[in-house]
Amino acid sequence: MHTSAFFKLFPPPKFMVMKYAGLDISDDAIRCLEYSIGADHSIQKYAMTEIPEGIMTGGDIKNEKQLLTILSEFDKKNNLEYVKVSIPEEKAYLFQTDVPSTDIHAIEQNIEFKLEENVPLSGKDAVFSFDILPVSVTAGALRVSVSVVPRTYIEHYIALLRSADIFPVAFEVVPKAIARAIIPPHVRHAVMVVHIMSLKTGIYLILGGVVCFTSTIAWGSHSPSDEHSDISLLTKEISRIHEYWATHSSTDFPLGSLMLVGRDAPSYENALRTVVADIHLSMTVASVWQNSFSLDEYVPPIAQGDSLDYAVAAGLAMDA
């Protein structure tokens, strides 16, 4: 699998030696995590601060002045400087397309040519990233999964972060960052990731480390009580996406497991057990440190329950 340079703002040689933190900006909180440089990959820095309701909604900034104040204070406390920043899945378009060769420049040109066929953005109005799917998945075809974000959104974010004395080196969509952190390497089957947040839940299909499908529903662990108790919204979406994969993918790569992530994820294991059993999936609560270090060799300073809140920041902080 090849992963393109995702919205990198610096050339690769400088980026590779630059120390940076993963910065996850969601509707309800800002979280950062930074690993030490070296083989031990221990956690050097982590922090979280809440964002009051109404400042961010679905990744849209509703009160820029307040968000800037929060970011500036967060930076002063944590000395962030360089960061790799999350982009919520609602702000990105995702599609797959075949490409003529593995040459990176040729792939980029091919994607630019096909953009308007797949998303409501022209090449000049978009920034994109792509992952090459394993040929074992595509029956030998050269196929890429493309994430596209409006250029104005990225430029606005850059200006806001720099106003807070924070310098982004790259951006990455939330599902990709989570997949990098929690999915073990060399998993042959497709994985459904259920990312439970405060007021929404993201459901992502990952195969060979590549994000193949995303969906977001307006249901979360802190939804109003009448909606919160109705977990059928989530179970119906899980069943729908399972059916989608069964009818749109190769039988050689079935959907084999479901991974829960998010602070309150463990509390939903029992409620989801029936639907998961009905569609013949195994279910686990994710380990955020799965691909960072061994818990037998290093004890992180973040409690296990709290670590589920840091999945996005942890994935961003890892080398792509």
Question: Quick one: CA dihedral 119, 123, 127, 130, positive or negative?
Answer: positive
Given 100, 132, 149, the domain boundary residue is 149
Answer yes or no: do 279 and 269 share one domain. yes
Coil, strand or helix at 55: coil
Answer yes or no: do 84 and 118 share one domain. no
Answer yes or no: do 79 and 199 share one domain. yes
Instruction: Extract the tokens encoding 240.
Output: 């729908």
Query: Count of residues for the chain?
Result: 320
Answer yes or no: do 172 and 97 share one domain. no
Answer yes or no: do 84 and 110 share one domain. no
| Enclosing domain of residue 124 | 91-149
Given 102, 121, 149, the domain boundary residue is 149
pLDDT of residue 62: 95
Task: Give the Cα separation of 179 and 169 in Å (integer).
Answer: 20
Instruction: Extract the tokens encoding 52.
Output: 């009051």
Given 149, 172, 196, the domain boundary residue is 149
Answer yes or no: do 116 and 242 share one domain. no
Answer yes or no: do 85 and 203 share one domain. yes
Answer yes or no: do 130 and 177 share one domain. no
pLDDT of residue 12: 47
CATH number, domain with residue 120 = 3.30.1490
Q: Quick check: pTM over 0.75?
A: yes
Answer yes or no: do 63 and 168 share one domain. yes
pLDDT of residue 141: 82
The per-residue pLDDT string of the chain (320 residues; one tens digit each, 9 = 90 and over) reads: 444 445 555 444 444 557 899 999 999 999 999 999 876 679 999 999 999 999 999 999 999 999 999 999 999 999 998 999 999 999 999 999 999 888 889 999 999 999 999 999 998 999 999 999 877 677 778 889 999 999 999 999 999 999 999 999 999 999 999 999 999 988 888 999 999 999 899 999 999 889 999 999 999 988 876 655 678 889 999 999 999 998 877 667 789 999 999 988 999 999 999 999 999 999 999 999 999 999 999 999 999 989 999 999 999 999 86
- Are 196 and 236 spatial neighbours (Cβ–Cβ below 8 Å)? no
pLDDT of residue 135: 73
CA-wise closest residue to 206 among 195, 214, 198: 214
Answer yes or no: do 188 and 131 share one domain. no
The count of structural domains within the chain is 2
Answer yes or no: do 308 and 210 share one domain. yes
CATH number, domain with residue 30 = 3.30.420.40
Answer yes or no: do 242 and 270 share one domain. yes
- Are 312 and 177 spatial neighbours (Cβ–Cβ below 8 Å)? yes
Q: Using alpha carbons, list the distances in angstroms from residue 120 to 4, 92, 171, 291.
A: 22, 11, 21, 35
Residues 211-246 as b or e (16 or more Cβ within 10 Å = b): bbbbebeebbbebeeeeeeeeeebbebbeebbeebe
